[in-house]
Structure 1
Amino acid sequence: MNLKKAIRVGLAAMMLAGIPFSSVLAAGQTDAARIRELVDTGMHYYWSGGDVKKAEAEVFKGITLHGRYDVVEQAFAEASALSPERLDFRYAVASARILQKNIDGAIETYTGITRVDPNAFNAYAWLAALAHIRNDDAAYHNYMDALAGINREKANAFRKRFDRADTIMSMAPNQDVPALAHHTTIVILGYALAEDGSMRPPLMQRLEMGLAAAKRNPDAYVMVTGGQPQAGVTEGDMMMRWLVDQGVARGRIILEDKSKDTVGNMLNIANLLHRHTADDVILVTSASHMRRAQTVLEDALAQYDIDAPVHPLIALDFDSMEEAAKVSDSEKLVVYRDLLRVAGIWAFPGLQQ
């Protein structure tokens, strides 16, 4: 497609999508430069947010935006309109809609992808997951059949993933510290530090549960995780220092401070467990985070052929265990979002898993 035709197609698609004419003009000036600007803007707001009003005035010129993920969606929607053959931009739009819990919008986008590419396995996998979240069994089975028609072995692997996630989400939360045999690793998940680098209450609660597990399993390794820095330190570093101050030998502690989010965290944990060998894993995190963390970790472990069982141990961040046991549709969406990401379906293809 030559440049003039690409511009005409992009402008028409943008106008049909309801994007203001001011943005259409801006996009038509230099497609490649505009796309770069849009992608950079989208990923910046995905990672760290920013001034939404500034984005309205300087990047989109006239569009009313309501939040950081709204900016992400708009950025990739405009990039997709400029380059409609780029399905990666459409996947990014769908991911931004998932982040905003706009399931109907995500379904519309994934369905559009399958019309362009009938063999779009990743789009069908997401459609199956969304149908499953909505308890739409007929649609779920139809989408799973479509997956099997594309790649039966891969479809069966995703069916097992979904079943495993269902099992984990049906489990009662646990605060009983297990005593296990040798080759046990206790994994304590981090939580964002305050701006001054101090540890917030949810992280302290996780550390206290992890310390109890370390005392009951004196031969176990203790892995501390989290790589988002504040005031020159990371969660993992602060957690390690605290445990040492509480009497845990430094030689027992494994530090994972390279990850930026839950998915990267679990893949790095699985890699470290593969290197250090573990017969059992005690996973420590907040109750509100456990189902997602365990689902993603078990998938990551399976990718490394690690068959060590995961024993969940929660730090209670609800008013009661009964409240902690409830699974909302919003939580299911987040669980499936990160499950699909760790399974290899990138949220923003080529940019962020």
Structure 2
Amino acid sequence: MNKTLLALALGGLLSFSSTTVIASPQESIQSSVEYSQFTSKRQVVDQLLSDAVTAFKSPARISHAGFTAKMPSNMEIVTNRLLEAYQLEPYRTDLLISAANAQIYNKNADRAIDLFEQVLDVAPQDVDAHSYLAVWQHFNGNEAESQKHMQTLKTLNEGRATDIQRIFDTVNRIVATPLKETLGKERKGNTAIITLGYALNPDGSMHEILIQRLEKTLAFAKKQPNSMIVLTGGVPKNHKTEGKLMADWLVDHGIARDRIIEDNYARSTVENALYSSYALARHNIDHATIISSASHVRRGQTLFEIASWQTGPKDITFDTVSAADKPLDDLKVPSQGELLGIYRDALRTYGMWSYRSYPLEQR
């Protein structure tokens, strides 16, 4: 593609406004600009989406207590490129949904809500849009608005409404449960210990936070000698993965390797839950204890419970043990940032993809 012509098209023709004008049902939405003199509209949209992917995959990252996400500035670029593409293709509501979820990652629930509302302007019966709005209005404390969307969901898709309410109930129960650092009494039955990974150092060595989690795992594994151990984490650094290094560390400290299942593929807490849930199902686990940092375990438990809805075992239960990255007294009440991450990833684990605009697609 001629980059000069494309730059003219992007610079001269695309001026983004946060307010999208929606045509009446009888009025066909058509672009008022003739693109053929510059380049095809499809090429412009493709380039905008390519720019969004580039920003999304930028190596600039922040990481704490197992949460790895793109820098907010990157997500602002992602949002803007998606919305510029939407201005050109106003039937592509997937672009609006992807842009809204980028703002959730940007911790701007208000702007995300505005964008989800624009989806309903186009498609007032969109089940996903009503689901997102029920959740994020609930997160913002706007219960009347949340319940309005829940009532609409019940008429459109009663099963979805039931599932969203189940997510609310699950989160409420988990955040109301006190965090604990100590190990409880030995459990009977088919039990498992699940240790969540943490981003490796650039040289491929384990971060101190991950070693703290392993120390908890080691103590628990000795107390529960019959428990299976699931180690999950697959973001490679210097050709090494968290799962493999965690397994080697435990074996070096006396744990039999045949007790260990490694997940060397999960790139996020969502994938930790999705991939490990099949190991729990395969071994018909009755109860699993999740070990992670104190600021991370509530999100981990929420996602593992939701993942088990699809995989089973049907009556599996979960609890958590915290490696104290922060004093537990400081974490009694989850912060808004922690709650946002819990709800965002709960929806992803449930199956609602955050990004659904090729080539930017991600659960």
Q: TM-score, normalised by structure 1?
A: 0.86
2:170 is matched with which residue?
164
The structure where strand makes up a greater share of residues is: 2
Counterparts of 1:255 and 1:15, CA distance in 2: 47
Aligned counterpart, 1:32: 42
**2:16–2:83 contact (8 Å) kept in structure 1:** no
Measured after TM superposition, the shift of residue 156 of structure 1 is: 1.1
CA offset at residue 140 of structure 1? 1.6
The code of the aligned residue for 1:84 comes to P
The answer to whether residue 361 in structure 2 is matched with residue 344 in structure 1 is no
Please, which runs of 5 or more residues in structure 2 have no aligned partner? 1-8, 21-33, 62-70
Compared CA separation, residues 194 and 157, structure 1 to 2 (3 A): same
SS in 2 for 1:88: helix
Paired residue total: 326
Is residue 230 of structure 1 aligned with residue 240 of structure 2?
A: no
Aligned match of 2:83 in 77, 83, 95?
A: 77
- CA shift, 1:135, in A, is 1.8
Q: Structure 1 154/13 Cα, relative in aligned 2: closer, same or farther at 3 Å?
A: farther
Which residue matches 2:255?
A: 248
Q: How does 1:32-71 map to 2 (within 5 A)?
A: 32-49=42-59, 67-71=73-77
Alignment partners' CA distance in 2, 1:123 and 1:18: 18
Q: Is the 8 A contact 2:201 2:237 kept in 1?
A: yes
Range that drifts further, 65-74 or 148-157? 65-74
Q: 1:44: Cα distance to partner?
A: 3.4
Give the aligned partner of residue 114 of structure 2.
Answer: 108
Equivalence for 2:26: none
Whether 1:186 aligns to 2:199 is no
Structure 1 runs not aligned, ≥5 long: 1-7, 52-64
Farther-moved stretch of structure 1 (201-210 vs 321-330): 321-330
Aligned 8 A contact 1:194 1:230 in 2: yes
Decide whether aligned partners of structure 1 residues 116 and 229 sit closer, same or farther in structure 2, where only a CA change above 3 A counts.
same
Q: 1:313 to 1:256 in 2, by over 3 A?
A: same
Match of 1:310 among 286, 310, 318: 318
1:349 aligns to what SS in structure 2? Answer: strand
The alignment partner of 1:345 has SS state of: coil
Amino acid at match of 1:215: K
- 1:215 and 1:197 mapped to 2: Cα distance? 27
For 2:152 and 2:305, the matched residues in 1 are separated by 26
Q: Measure how far apart 1:209 and its partner are.
A: 0.8
Residues in 2 aligned to 1:95 and 1:171: alpha-carbon distance in whole angstroms: 28
Deviation at 1:12, TM superposition (A): 8.0
**Structure 1 pair 234–70 and aligned structure 2 pair: CA distance change class (3 A):** same
- Could you say what secondary structure the match of 2:107 adopts? coil
The farther-off stretch of 33-42 and 326-335 is: 33-42
In 1: Cα distance, 2:241 partner to 2:37 partner: 40
Q: 2 CA distance for matches of 1:27 and 1:15?
A: 21
Tell me, in whole angstroms, the C-alpha distance in 1 between the residues paired with 2:264 and 2:76: 30
**What code does the residue aligned with 1:213 have?**
F
Counterpart AA for 1:44:
T
Structure 1 range deviating more: 80-89 or 187-196: 80-89
State the SS of the aligned residue for 1:29. coil
- Give secondary structure in 2 for the equivalent of 1:37: helix
Q: In structure 2, what is the Cα distance between the partners aligned to 1:99 and 1:115?
A: 23
Percent of pairs with identical residues? 32
Superposition pairs of residues 125-204 of structure 1, within 5 angstroms: 125-178=131-184, 179-204=186-211
Superposed displacement of residue 162, structure 1: 1.0
Q: Please tell me the residue identity of whatever aligns with 2:222.
A: K
Cα separation, 1, equivalents of 2:37 and 2:110: 27
- Taking the aligned partners of 1:284 and 1:146, their CA distance within structure 2 comes to 38
The alpha-carbon distance between structure 1 residues 149 and 248, as it changes in their structure 2 partners (threshold 3 A), is: same
Pick the structure with more helix per residue: 1
Q: CA RMSD in A?
A: 2.5
Q: 1:261 aligns with which of 268, 279, 285?
A: 268
CA distance in 2, matches of 1:162, 1:66: 26
Counterpart check, 1:301 vs 2:308: yes
SS in 1 for 2:295: helix
Deviation at 1:37, TM superposition (A): 2.7
For residues 83-140 of structure 1, the C-alpha deviation after alignment (integer angstroms, 9 at most, x for no partner) is: 1111111111001111111122111100010111111111111111111112222112
Q: Which digits, 9 at most, give the CA deviation of each residue in 1:140-196, with x for residues without a partner?
A: 211110111211122112111111111111111011213211311110000000000
What one-letter code is carried by the residue in structure 2 that aligns with 1:88? D
